[in-house]
């Protein structure tokens, strides 16, 4: 088949599939961040504005660790193990940091009006951003290419590299682990109980504060993993990266139905796809407007989000 | 030694002093009734015993140990179950998960399974609805679930807040039948009820609350024949 002339190239099926692949990979990353918003919202009804910046700090740590460990010059096997260790280290770091923020800032405000923790979260976001500014400096930093950008498909028509694969594999594994945790463990059952009725949960013997702390840890740890994947995939990090990425992920969480973990996944994939298709077919500068226009339309018709709950309960 | 000993308890919300200096005691295996009008402080009293509402003054002792100011989840572990006002079952968890959460502080898996089976023989309708979401049950079924959930912590004392409210008469008699059976299991009960007649029939002793204070305290029979109680709470002309 002869190659299409450039002005027609974008109507080819390969081009469309390629955009979808990019969209799914980006969407998976957005979904991972969105889960952190959704979990915290589900359990205490707080929109954790600092979540995006928490991920930025995870990326700072990842960059420092890579620099200190000399992972760049290691062989392929050592590099893969290095990536696993990075995921663990940044997961632990972000999880612990998120839990500490809850313990010292949100927990004392648990019985205050909803606005007090919300404003505090915005404050934490700015504090994190300033820490990131000190850590990284004002300019964007490039992240070393640890995972090779080798194409997994033969030929040039479709590109899906080891880097894309890493994103999809890690996100799918974490999602499965999270849904098993929430569905079928003692902690997961306690989390669902606390999110539905904290007082009733306390009255059956659930330590509500501990469950909330665990939720912050898990949501933060997912964010830590996201920070490593983001750094390896996007390869540019900066102290302001948390804001925009956080906004898209939060949008994904609302779109899918905030509080719902499958909803966060669906919302992330939808936003990833819309973003890549819009920037390919309409133009990069329109993507933000298109993503949010679609969000508004969906929310007008389904205010509870795509997978949000709309069950009628008898009182 | 009484099982539960509440001494001069004061509790409330913000500026509201819902409970003002209430004392009461429960002996092992006994059913006591607390009656009073809406807003008399009955629910707050139970919530303060369970540690949900903070105690401002006074003490609560359970089996000789002070539980004043102890967090709710530890109080449950000591053996005080609580079926709260409005039932408050978990609407988006299945009936089975609701019951399993009732046994949250226990680790004896085999015994939990047997206890759940026993609850299902007590309330067969729950057994038929095990995988249904709690929120889809009828009011009566939800009350049975709330009772079953509270029983699953294997309490020595159960606090029951308006278990008959808004239920059909046939369900009410079933619920009271089960409550009456608690004595045989060695479970003591503090029963808060609008349905004072039925509550005083079950109970051995009763307290009447008025605006956060105890206005009357006597044997259940004496209370049921007291003209003040008959006028105000039993609806006798």
pLDDT tens string A90-100: 999 999 999 99
Chain A positions touching B141 (Cβ under 8 A) are none
Which ipTM did the prediction report? 0.94
The partner residue sitting opposite A203, judged by closest CB among B50, B100, B133, is B50
Give the mean pLDDT of A82-105: 97
Domain count, chain B: 1
Interchain proximity B73–A206, CB inside 8 Å: yes
Considering Cα of B216, then B219, then B220, then B225, what sign does the dihedral take? Answer: negative
Chain A positions touching B50 (Cβ under 8 A) are 203
Chain B positions touching A204 (Cβ under 8 A) are 76, 101-102, 104-105, 149-150, 153
Chain A positions touching B84 (Cβ under 8 A) are 199-200, 203
Chain B positions touching A309 (Cβ under 8 A) are 92
pLDDT number for residue A3: 60
| Cα A308 to chain centroid, rounded | 18
The 10s digit of each residue's pLDDT in B62-85 is 999 999 999 999 999 999 999 999
Nearest Cα of chain B lies from the Cα of A199 at a distance, in angstroms, of: 7
> Is the Cβ of A205 closer than 8 Å to some Cβ of chain B?
yes
Integer CA distances (angstroms), B189 to A238, A279, B161, in order: 62, 66, 10
Give the mean pLDDT of B204-227: 93
pLDDT number for residue A167: 94
The 10s digit of each residue's pLDDT in B54-67 is 999 999 999 999 99
Q: Does residue A77 surpass a pLDDT of 60? A: yes
Interchain proximity A203–B138, CB inside 8 Å: no
Mutate to test the interface with A, among B101, B137, B159 (most CBs of A within 10 A): B101
Range of the domain at B147: 89-153
pLDDT number for residue A5: 62
B48 domain-assigned: no
B32 domain-assigned: no
For A216, the token pair is: 């912050």
For B144, the token pair is: 């049975």
pLDDT level of residue A314 (50, 70, 90 thresholds): very low
Nearest Cα of chain A lies from the Cα of B235 at a distance, in angstroms, of: 27
Nearest Cα of chain A lies from the Cα of B208 at a distance, in angstroms, of: 25
Q: Does residue A303 surpass a pLDDT of 70? A: yes
A185 phi/psi in degrees, rounded to 5: -115, 165
- Other C-beta atoms within 10 Å of A277: how many? 17
A314 phi/psi in degrees, rounded to 5: -80, 140
The 10s digit of each residue's pLDDT in A157-204 is 888 999 999 999 999 999 999 999 999 999 999 999 999 999 999 999
B95 domain-assigned: yes
B169 domain-assigned: no
| Cα B128 to chain centroid, rounded | 25
B96 domain-assigned: yes
pLDDT number for residue A315: 37
pLDDT level of residue B90 (50, 70, 90 thresholds): very high
Interchain proximity A200–B88, CB inside 8 Å: yes
* B residues 166-225 closer than 8 Å to A (CB): none
Chain A positions touching B93 (Cβ under 8 A) are 189, 192-193, 196
For A59, the token pair is: 């990326």
The mean pLDDT of chain B is 94
Give the mean pLDDT of B123-140: 95
């Amino acid at each position: 088949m002869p190659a299409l002339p450039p002005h027609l190239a974008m109507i080819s099926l390969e081009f469309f599939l390629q955009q979808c692949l990019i969209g799914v990979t980006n969407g998976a990353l957005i979904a991972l961040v969105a889960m952190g918003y959704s979990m915290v919202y589900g359990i205490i009804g707080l929109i954790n504005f600092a979540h995006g910046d928490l991920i930025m700090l995870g990326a700072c740590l990842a960059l420092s660790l890579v620099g200190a460990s000399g992972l760049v010059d290691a062989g392929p096997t050592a590099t893969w193990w290095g990536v696993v260790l990075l995921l663990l280290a940044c997961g632990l770091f972000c999880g612990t940091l998120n839990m500490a923020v809850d313990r010292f800032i949100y927990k004392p405000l648990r019985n205050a009006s909803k606005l007090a923790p919300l404003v505090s979260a915005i404050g934490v976001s700015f504090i994190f951003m300033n820490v990131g500014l000190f850590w990284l400096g004002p300019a964007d930093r490039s992240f070393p290419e640890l995972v090779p950008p080798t194409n997994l498909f033969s030929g040039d028509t479709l590109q899906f590299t080891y880097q894309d694969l890493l994103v999809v594999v890690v996100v799918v594994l974490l999602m499965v682990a999270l849904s098993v945790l929430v569905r079928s463990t003692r902690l997961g059952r306690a989390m669902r109980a606390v999110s539905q009725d904290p007082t009733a949960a306390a009255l059956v013997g659930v330590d509500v504060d501990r469950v909330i702390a665990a939720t912050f840890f898990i949501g933060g740890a997912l964010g830590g993993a996201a920070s490593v994947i983001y750094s390896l995939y996007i390869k540019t990090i900066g102290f302001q990266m948390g804001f925009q990425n956080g906004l898209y992920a939060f949008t994904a969480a609302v779109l899918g139905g905030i509080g719902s973990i499958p909803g966060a996944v669906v919302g992330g994939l939808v936003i990833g796809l819309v973003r890549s298709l819009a920037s390919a077919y309409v133009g990069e500068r329109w993507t933000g407007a298109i993503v949010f226009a679609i969000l508004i339309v969906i929310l007008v018709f389904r205010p509870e989000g795509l997978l949000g709950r709309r069950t009628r309960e008898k009182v | 030694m009484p099982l539960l000993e509440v001494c001069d308890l004061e509790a409330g919300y913000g500026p509201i002093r819902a409970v003002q200096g209430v004392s009461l005691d429960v002996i092992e295996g006994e059913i006591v009734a607390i009656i009073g009008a809406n807003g008399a402080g009955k629910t707050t009293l139970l919530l303060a015993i369970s540690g949900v509402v903070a105690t401002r003054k006074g003490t609560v002792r359970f089996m000789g140990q002070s539980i004043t100011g102890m967090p709710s989840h530890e109080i449950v572990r000591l053996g005080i179950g609580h079926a709260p006002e409005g039932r408050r079952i978990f609407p988006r968890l299945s009936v089975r998960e609701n019951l399993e959460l009732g046994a949250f502080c226990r680790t004896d898996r085999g015994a939990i399974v047997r206890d759940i089976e026993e609850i299902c023989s007590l309330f067969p309708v729950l057994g038929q609805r095990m995988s249904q979401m709690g929120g889809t049950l009828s009011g009566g079924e939800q009350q049975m679930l709330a009772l079953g959930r509270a029983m699953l912590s294997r309490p020595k004392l159960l606090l029951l807040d308006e278990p008959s409210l808004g239920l059909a008469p046939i369900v009410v008699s079933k619920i009271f039948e089960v409550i009456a059976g608690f004595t045989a299991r060695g479970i003591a009960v503090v029963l808060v009820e609008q349905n004072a007649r039925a509550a005083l029939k079950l109970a051995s002793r009763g307290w009447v609350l008025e605006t956060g204070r105890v206005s009357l305290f006597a044997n259940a029979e004496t209370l049921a024949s007291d003209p003040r109680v008959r006028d105000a709470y039993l609806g006798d002309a």
